[in-house]
Chains A and B, each alone.
Chain A
Amino acid sequence: MELFWSLIIGLLFAGAVYSILRRSLAKNLFGFIILSNAINLLIFTAGGYNRGAAPFIKDSSIDFNIITDPLPQALILTAIVIGFGVISFCIALYSLFYSQNRTDDIDKLINEEVA
C-alpha cells in the first residue's frame, strides 16, 4: 500500500512541477493546488496510516502498537486550511493581474528598467 501511494505522490509532484513551470497563470495556479495536495498525501503516508485500530482508547488492555497515530491527520487539516487561504489569495492576485494586463502569460511580465 505504501508503495502505491508513494508512486501516486511522485506523479502528483511531477505534475505539479510541470504545471508551475507553465507560462499560463491559470495552469500555474493549478500546479500549486496539486502541489499542496501532494504534500498532504505525503504527510499522510509518511505518518503511517494502516496499522489497525482507531485511536480511541476505551480500556487499557488495547495494544498501543496497533493504533493509528492521529497527529498526521491533524497536521493535514491545518495544512489544508492554510492552503485554502493561500490559494484564495492567489486567485484574487492573479485575477487582478489579468484585469490590469489582459493577459495571463508570465512572459509578458515587464522587467522595470534599470534606471
Chain B
Amino acid sequence: MNLVVSPMVISVAAGFTTLLLYKLPAVQKIASLLFSIATAVVSYLLISEVYLNGTQIINFSSWPAPFGITYVADPFAVIMVGITALITLGASIYTFGGMEFKDDYCFYAPFFHLMMAGVFGAFLTGDIFHLYVCFELLLLASFILIILGREKQQIEGGLKYVMINLVSSALFLSGLGLLYGKIGALNLAEIAVRLQAAPDPGLVLMTGTLFVIAFSIKAALFPFNFWLPSSYHLCHPLVSGVFAGLLTKVGIYAILRIFPIILVHDLAYFKTLFLVIAGLTMITGVFGAAVDYNSRRILSFHIISQLGYIALGVAIFTPFAITATIFYFIHHIITKTNLFFSVGLLNQLFGHDKIKKMGGMYKQSWLLSLLFMISALSLAGIPPLSGFFGKFFILKAAYLDEQWLLLFIGIGVGALTLFSMIKIWNEAFWKDLPEGVSAPTGKLAPGPVLATVIFAASIVLIGVYAGPLFDFAKIAGEQIVDPSTYIQAVLGSR
C-alpha cells in the first residue's frame, strides 16, 4: 500500500470532521485525538517503509512525472513528517484540560488539522507550485488560529503576521512564475535536470533572490525577523507552541529543498549571503531575549536565535553540515514546542506571561519545574540532552569549514541562551512570590502535563540515541546535497 499521501489525507479528513462537530466539544476533542493518533501511526509506517525500501513516490491520477503532481517521501521528508506527527499528537493531548472548545475555540481543532495538512503537504510534495498551494493552506489556517479569541492585542498581532506573510507569498509566487516561464517545468526533479543541462545564471540569481526573501520572511531570518516576537506570544499557549515548533521550520525546509536543485552552479554567492544572515540572526535573536521579561516573548526571540544555527548549517552546505542541520531540526522542533507548552502551563496558573509577577513555582510543583528545566537546558545545549548534540554537530561543521567568526558567535549565543533560560527559571520558579501576588490556586491540567512529559522524554531519548538518529539524518543529508538519488526516484532512469 502506498502511504505517501496518507498523513495529509487524514489531516484534511480530520479538519472537516471536527468542523462538522463544532457544537459538540467533547466529541470534537476525542475525534481530534483519534485522528492525530491515526496520523502518527501512518507517519511511522511511512518512515519504516522509507527506511527499509528507500524513497517512495506517488503520481496523482497516474500522470507520469514530470507532468502531474508528484508526492515524494525521501528520508528528509519523512523525518520532518515524523516530528510533525509527534507534535500533532502532543498538541491534541494538550487540549484535554489545556483548552476549552467553546466560543471561538470550537474552531481550533478544524483549522489546526487543516494547518497540519498544509505542513505535511509542504514536506512531501515534489512539485514547486503545489508547495505554494500548501504554504497558502497552512498560512490561511494559521491566520485564523492566531486570532482565535479575538482580543484587541491578538487582532493587532494577527494584522502584522498576516501582512508580512502576504508579502512573502507574493514574492514566492512571482519567483515561481518567472522560473516556470523560463524552464517550463514545475516538478523539482525535472527543474534540476533541465538546469543541469542548460545552466542559466541570470535566472537562478533572480528567482533565487526572490525565493531567499520569501522563505526568509517565513522562516524569520535576520532582516525579516521583527514580526515573530510581536505576534507569537499573543495567541493561546497551545497555538503558539505549535507555531513555534513548526511554521518557521517549513520556511527553512523549503530553502533546503529548493536551493540544492536550482543553485547547481551558483552556490558561492548564496553561501556568503547565508553566512551573514546566520550570524546576524543568532545575535539579534539572543539579544532581544536578553532584555525581555515576558516569558513567551523571550522564547519567541529564541526561535529566531536558534534559526540562526540552522541557517549556519544551510550556509556551509557540506553533507556533514546538512546532516547536522537535519538533526537540529529534530531537536529544535520538539524542544521549542515543549518550552512553549510548559510556559503555557505557567500562563494557565497565573493568567499572564509576565515573569516578574510570578514566583515560587519550584516550591509548588516539582514536576513542572523539572519539565521546564529539561527543555530549557536542552535549548541552551547542556549534555546529555538533545540540544547539546544539535549545537555540537552544527559547530563542528563550522569548525571543519573554518568559519571561525561564526563558530565564536555560535558558542557565545549558546551561553546567552543559558542566561535567558536562567532568567525565566529565577523569576518564575526560584524566587519567592513577589509581594502583592497571591499563589496560584489552580491545579496543573492533566493533558498539558502529559504532552509535556512525552516531549521531555523525547528530548532525553534523542540525547541518548543521538548516534542512530544521526545515521538516519546522514542518509537524508547526503541526498539533499547530491539530489541525484531524488531525481532518479522521481523521474526513473532515463
CB < 8 Å neighbour of B178 from A46, A48, A75, A112: A46
- Encode A31-53 as 1/0 by CB contact (under 8 A) with B: 01001100100110111100000
9-residue interface stretch from B57-65, B288-296, B314-322, B433-441:
B288-296
Given contacts A72-B180, A89-B140, is CB(A114)–CB(B174) below 8 Å? no
Q: Are A47 and B159 in contact (CB under 8 A)?
A: no
Q: Are A100 and B170 in contact (CB under 8 A)?
A: no
Q: Are A114 and B184 in contact (CB under 8 A)?
A: no
* Number of cross-chain contacts by CB at 8 Å: 88
Closest CB in chain B relative to A103 CB, distance in Å: 12
User: Which 8 A-B residue pairs are closest in the complex by CB-CB distance?
Assistant: A46-B181, A43-B177, A82-B136, A115-B354, A42-B177, A39-B173, A46-B177, A39-B174
User: Complex: how many Å from CA A36 to CA B174?
Assistant: 10
- Encode A90-109 as 1/0 by CB contact (under 8 A) with B: 10011011001100000001
CB < 8 Å neighbour of B180 from A35, A39, A43, A96: A43
Residues of A within 8 A of B162 (CB): 89-90, 93
Q: Are B129 and A100 in contact (CB under 8 A)?
A: no
A1 located at the interface, meaning its Cβ lies under 8 Å from any Cβ of chain B in the complex = no
Given contacts A96-B150, A112-B153, is CB(A20)–CB(B178) below 8 Å? no
Residues of B within 8 A of A100 (CB): 152, 155
Chain B interface size range: 35 or more
User: Complex: how many Å from CA A75 to CA B172?
Assistant: 13
For window 49-82 of A, CB contacts with B under 8 Å fall at 69, 71-72, 75, 78-79, 82
User: Complex: how many Å from CA A71 to CA B190?
Assistant: 16
Chain B interface (Cβ within 8 Å of chain A)?
129, 133, 136, 139-140, 143-144, 147, 150, 152-153, 155-156, 158-160, 162-163, 166-167, 169-170, 173-174, 176-178, 180-182, 184, 186, 230, 234, 291-294, 354, 356
Q: Are B147 and A93 in contact (CB under 8 A)?
A: yes
User: Complex: how many Å from CA A48 to CA B176?
Assistant: 14
User: Complex: how many Å from CA A100 to CA B154?
Assistant: 11
Given contacts A86-B136, A93-B158, is CB(A43)–CB(B170) below 8 Å? no
User: Complex: how many Å from CA A85 to CA B169?
Assistant: 14
